Amino acid sequence: MLKLVVVVKFKEGIDDPEGKSITHSLNLLGFENVKRVNVAKQYEIFVDADISKGREIGEKIVKKLLVNPVIHDYELRVEEI
C-alpha cells in the first residue's frame, strides 16, 4: 500500500483571500506580529500499488483532479506503508 501526500498551494502572486482573512483575524486577536498566512490543502491518498509506480500515479491524479496549473503549485511525496 502506498500513501501519496500532495500539498496544493497558491502560486506566488496569486491572491489567497482565506490567508489574508486569517492574518487579519489574528492581528485583531492580539497576534500583531503575524505578518502573513498562506493556506494550502493536503491530500493523503492511499493507493494499492507498487512503489515503482507511485510517482507516476500521483502525478496523474494531481493533474486530473487536484490542481489547477494556472493558479496552483504542488508537492508530491510517495511513502510505502
Footprint on this chain of a second copy (rule: CB under 8 A) = 1, 7, 9, 19, 22, 25-26, 29, 31, 33-49, 57, 60-61, 64-66
Residue closer to a second copy (CB basis): 42 or 69 = 42
Alpha carbon distance 28, 36 (integer Å):
13
Do the beta carbons of residue 10 and residue 70 sit within 8 Å? no
Nearest distance from residue 70's CB to a second copy, in Å? Answer: 20
Output 14 or 31, the one with its CB closest to a second copy. Answer: 31
- Nearer CB in complex with a second copy: 64/70: 64
Residue 25 host element (H or E): helix 17-28
How far, CA to CA in Å, does 79 sit from each of 24, 30, 32, 39, 72? 36, 40, 38, 24, 23
CB of 73 to a second copy, least distance (A): 13
